[in-house]
Amino acid sequence: MPLIDLIDKLQQSLPSGTVLTGEPMARHTTFRVGGPADVMVLADSGADIQKTVALCREENYPFIILGNGSNVLVRDGGIRGCVILMGEGYSCVVPSGEDAVYAHAGARNNRFAETCMELGLAGCEFISGIPGTIGGAVFMNAGAYGSETSDIVKAVRALDREGNFLELTREEMGFSYRHSLAAEREMIILGAEFQLKKGNPAEIAARIADLNGRRRDRQPLEYPSAGSVFKRPLGHFAAKLIDDAGLKGARVGDAQVSEKHAGFIINRGAAAAADVLELIRRIQNIVFGMFGVRLETEVRILGEEALS
């Protein structure tokens, strides 16, 4: 079915101004690279997401979900499909009990942690410095400083690929390191309830400030990146392997292994996705050749190669 038919149906079904065509993905990823998406929907409600999924399925058109675009690398040819972007209107964080909160998938992790702090709820301080949204944090079981999102999840609301609403418990989500049932079955996270504990707002704020200070000291936050590029290999640390291989500062075009933290690849200003991908390939080959360890990407690689 022609793309124009899908665009027409989306524009008829969704609020004005929420359907974009040919939108550069570099505007919507923290790496600041990536070609255009065929069509993008700025979704501000679960109903918008459900309608979009239903229409994409009806027209047999592929779709993906994005939040802050912080853990993805979009190739230079862009995305042949529909990108459903969690909009600002889908980012509420509200109390759901004496020591629990519910957060929409589009809520930024730092704002989620700040809201919990304001409510005097502790336990989610670690998430404040993780770039991205709650939907992405749940989907990939994001973690930092010895804690993971699964530690505080109570229940998850999601859509399956057929557009059916699901309610899943923490146990049913099958969390493991940087993985969940949602990733395995390509579910769409709509939101989650988090079980926290009472705390002193000033003490919570101090912990957030401490963790974020440590992050600023150790990570190249002054440059566009997608966070840690590689998963932690069993028995090793990816950044140490890359550093030991002498790859700190290695470059392909404007893509560079950070000299501050070897687990990050940064965009020094004009990197293309192809530069980043070539640098990833070189790192993997050199580390395997020197240490026999295969580095797997944690960053999701999406889209098509640019036409030559």
- Of all residues in the chain, what percent carry a pLDDT higher than 90? 80
Q: pTM for the complete prediction?
A: 0.87
Catalytic residue among 23, 148, 193, 298: 298
**CA-based torsion, 104, 105, 109, 110: positive or negative:** negative
Angle subtended by helix axes 109-118 and 201-218, to nearest 10: 160
User: Does 121 or 91 have the greater pLDDT score?
Assistant: 121
Q: What is the DSSP letter of 154?
A: E
Catalytic residue among 91, 150, 228, 258: 228
Instruction: Please report how many Cα atoms fall inside a 13 Å half-sphere around the Cα of residue 270, on the Cβ side.
Output: 1
Name the band, by pLDDT with cuts 50, 70 and 90, for residue 308.
low
Q: Is-catalytic flag, 298?
A: yes
User: Does 181 or 68 have the greater pLDDT score?
Assistant: 181
- One DSSP character per residue, 66-80 reads ESS--SEEE-TT-EE
Which residue type is seen at 246?
A: G
C-alpha triplet 245, 246, 250: angle, nearest 5°: 115
User: Does 44 or 75 have the greater pLDDT score?
Assistant: 75
pLDDT digits over 247-301, tens only? 999 999 999 999 999 999 999 999 999 999 999 999 999 999 999 999 999 999 9
CATH 3.30.43.10 holds for 3-89: yes
Catalytic residue among 23, 148, 178, 258: 178
pLDDT score recorded for residue 67: 87
Q: Is-catalytic flag, 228?
A: yes
Name the band, by pLDDT with cuts 50, 70 and 90, for residue 71.
confident
Task: In whole angstroms, give the CA distance from residue 53 to residue 62.
Answer: 9
pLDDT score recorded for residue 70: 87
Name the band, by pLDDT with cuts 50, 70 and 90, for residue 53.
very high
Give the residue-averaged pLDDT of 96-118. Answer: 95
Task: In whole angstroms, give the CA distance from residue 5 to residue 78.
Answer: 20
Residue spans per domain, the chain: 3-89, 91-216, 221-302
CATH number, domain 91-216: 3.30.465.10
- Please name which of 186, 140, 192 lies closest in space to residue 161, comparing C-alpha atoms: 186
Given a cut of 70, whether residue 1 has pLDDT beyond it is no
Where in the chain does DSSP place strands (E)?
A: 19-24, 36-43, 63-66, 72-74, 79-86, 93-97, 100-104, 121-122, 143-144, 147-148, 153-159, 165-169, 188-195, 197-198, 225-228, 251-252, 255-257, 264-267, 300-302
Class of the domain covering 221-302: alpha beta
